[in-house]
Copies of this chain bind each other. A is one copy, B any other.
């Protein structure tokens, strides 16, 4: 028996995230065979040509057969839709995971279909970009990225160990949390920034009587702060509805903070505004290398 971490990995959805897992697995020798499963033969063909997978199929049962690791590399809503068919297609003993940006509802749903024979553990590698598609995938996408691994009381510890080892082999720093805690943390660190960038971009868009003028004038202030608003609309719509409760709490809070800033400016309260800016600056500087 080989000392590889897994023998056969099936990746459902070979886009930026799935393709990059394939490339990393191949280049790091993490598994002997990687199967790409998808709907679009052309995209699968491209994944093959890029060396992200060893074989491809549009047939879920066929692709999952004998895989000891199955990864759902799909948007959140599709992950939930695929839980039941994947649980049926998976061989006994297979470990199933995903890369979805929210975790509580996925883990909640999976409990109906998975058991101790075929284990599902939700993963969330904090990787990706405003780009999408297998053509943008690369073997280092997960290097130095944080990967959340979510556990509930029934999660078998041995499966957690193997999955942790898998993500670490891809270069990620793993973090074990409960699904609900995960969804709170990413609401603040990822989903709120995203929808803030969207609101900012919408506001600037609405101010634009002349887009060409704006384009000639724009600087790093707007560009850096709005970049993530280019993210995939369907993916981010999925995330927003799935993590509705946490995201709306933070949206309320940022609205309150914007109101507070507006009040300080309107009241000519130089001292309080400067104090606020100082405190924010100090906090933000803690994130610098």
Contact = CB atoms under 8 A, between A and B. Distances in A.
Contacts of A190: 219, 221-222
A119 to B, nearest CB: 25
A259 interface: yes
Classify chain A's interface size. 35 or more
B244 A205 contact: no
A219 B261 contact: no
20 contacts: A146-B219, A185-B217, A188-B208, A189-B214, A189-B221, A192-B203, A193-B222, A195-B261, A198-B261, A202-B283, A203-B250, A203-B253, A207-B250, A224-B224, A226-B287, A237-B274, A248-B262, A251-B262, A252-B262, A255-B259
Interface string A218-233: 1111111111111101
Contacts of A216: 146, 173, 175
Most B-side CB within 10 Å, residue of A126, A129, A218: A218
A287 B203 contact: no
Contacts of A203: 188, 192, 250, 253-254, 257
A273 interface: yes
